[in-house]
Structure 1
Amino acid sequence: MNIIGRLTRDAEVYTTPQEKKVVNFSVAINDSYRNKQGERIEQTSYFDCSYWISPNVAKILLKGALVELTGRVSTRAWTATNGELRSSLNFHSSTIKLHGGSKKIEQAQAVVKQENKKIIIEEPADDLPF
């Protein structure tokens, strides 16, 4: 399944008790349609998202960024401490495609690219004649 939306907050990296890292973030998806009376109805859905493949992506997943996610949807229901029933939509992302954002996001992308440059170490030449 694919969804496209804007991040509602900066991504955060968490470490599980098994020492695995997960990137958590939230996405808002806006939708609109016309009802039988012809009135335009606006609706926003919020997804709590997770990405397990690489924690480095959290550096560029900043509030306001437009992202396209591929993955699977799940739901979660629980009872809050005050006894109120709660639920959430969850999206387990397998791929993330960044479509745009602000200058802050572009600066973060530049930093990530610079950090990912390969460092080449030159070894001294051998003294072998062949």
Structure 2
Amino acid sequence: VPPKNLKIMNGIRNSVTLIGFLGQDAKIFQTASGKTVTNISIATNDSYRNKRGDRITTTEWHRCIAWGKLGEIMGDLCKKGKEVAVRGKLTYNSYEDKNGVQRTSPQVVVQEFVLLDRKKMEEAA
């Protein structure tokens, strides 16, 4: 028998939420058909203490892509160092590298985003 709280997750498929910092300004492109596409890279950090008690921080980089009007807005607002929250779906981009090796790269197709202002968040707390 599935747990009762499983009903809460019903209908949510392939959903990713990330909160992190932008590693560079958004890169905006136009496709051959004239659609706007914007790429951003988000860094998320995780910290823990090792056996000696030293704080260890690891950083993961996440490639994100936004299309159309959302991509245009993100292109204008997403600048290096800003904190951002994104929600979207995880996809995999296949490509051939310069040596002819087939590679697969994960990326988040952004459906929603929010720029976060740490100072305002701290003032509200």
Bin for the TM-score computed over the shorter chain: 0.5 to 0.7
Quick check: 1:32–1:42 contact (8 Å CA) kept in 2?
Answer: yes
Query: Normalized against structure 2, the TM-score is what?
Result: 0.66
Give the paired residue count.
101
Rg larger in structure: 1
Q: Which residue of 1 aligns with 2:47?
A: 32
Structure 1 61/51 Cα, relative in aligned 2: closer, same or farther at 3 Å?
same
Matched, 1:18 2:36: no
Which among 65, 73, 80 is matched to residue 63 of structure 1?
80
Query: Normalized against structure 1, the TM-score is what?
Result: 0.64
Range with greater deviation from structure 2 (37-46 or 20-29)? 37-46
Structure 1 79/20 Cα, relative in aligned 2: closer, same or farther at 3 Å?
closer
Return the alpha-carbon distance in structure 2 between the equivalents of residues 34 and 79 of structure 1.
39
Q: Which residue of 2 aligns with 1:106?
A: none
Matched, 1:99 2:116: yes
Cα displacement (A) at 1:25: 1.1
**Once superposed, what is the RMSD of the aligned Cα atoms?**
2.6
Structure 1's consecutive aligned runs of 4 or more residues displaced over 6 angstroms after TM superposition are none
Matched, 1:88 2:100: no
Return the alpha-carbon distance in structure 2 between the equivalents of residues 30 and 79 of structure 1.
29
Structure 1 residue runs without a partner (length 5+) = 102-130
Identity value in percent? 31
